[in-house]
Amino acid sequence: MLRTILVVDDQSGVRDMLRDYLSHQGYGVLTAANGQEALMLARSLRPDLMLLDLLMPEVDGLEVLTRVRRESNMPVIVVTAQTEDADRIVGLEMGADDYVCKPFNLREVKARIQAVLRRLGAEDDTQRQLKAGDVVLDPDAHQVRVGGQPVELRPTEFELLAILLASPGRVFSRQDLLSRLAHYDGAERTIDVHIKNLRAKLESDPASPKRIETVFGVGYRFRNEDTA
């Protein structure tokens, strides 16, 4: 079962190093360069664990941790400077599950991630599924079903659908969607191509979509059955 780690650090070199290493270790990896982006990804894509640097500009790691703890029980491992004992203690008191110190050993990071996930146990898969109408997305199994039938999606299509399903009824601009995609540097208009491909796989009539709606001049949303 693929587990997803959200790496939050304002240093691009640290993010890239952790992303590459953890990806090679079999994890799905999301990255965020600041606290606001971290909270957005945590809410929309619900990763299995957050690896959170405490020292960041604007919204710092302790504030991110406070907000995460208000909203979920997602495991959080804080990353602190070697000399900042007070930060480690405060992080643990505020609900962090563990910590690692910079500079860190990558094997230690992996071991601590494994230990936290093992200690806290796997979350109920039914709670992790995203659903709107007859469309169900299972992030752990990386499966999508429409009316009970499996649908094969490419990775970017799957990620886009997860973003839309996490907030049915919410309108996302192309830039919103692009900024939420992990490691994707395409132009905004390429979002239209992926949406077109998603509709071809999810809609009974892609020319007249009932699930993924266009809000002209704004962007896209997944139809909210409760308010349709």
17-34 pLDDT, tens digit each: 998 898 888 888 899 999
> What is the band of 227 on the pLDDT scale with cuts at 50, 70, 90?
very low
pLDDT at 126 over 90: no
Burial class (CB in 10 A: 0-12, 13-18, 19+), 204: exposed
**CATH ID of 4-123, from 2.170.190.11, 3.30.70.1290, 3.40.50.2300, 3.30.2350.10:** 3.40.50.2300
Taking residues 5-18, what's their average pLDDT? 93
CATH 3.30.300.30 fits 126-222, yes or no: no
**Of 66-70, 122-126, 156-160, 176-180, minimum mean pLDDT range:** 122-126
Structural domain spans, the chain: 4-123, 126-222
Q: 8 pairs with which residues across the strands?
A: 32, 52
Check whether 12 has a pLDDT greater than 80.
yes
Here the tokens at position 209 are 């979509």
Beta strands (DSSP E) in the chain are: 4-8, 28-32, 49-53, 76-81, 98-102, 130-132, 135-138, 143-146, 149-151, 172-173, 212-215, 219-222
- This model's pTM is above 0.85: no
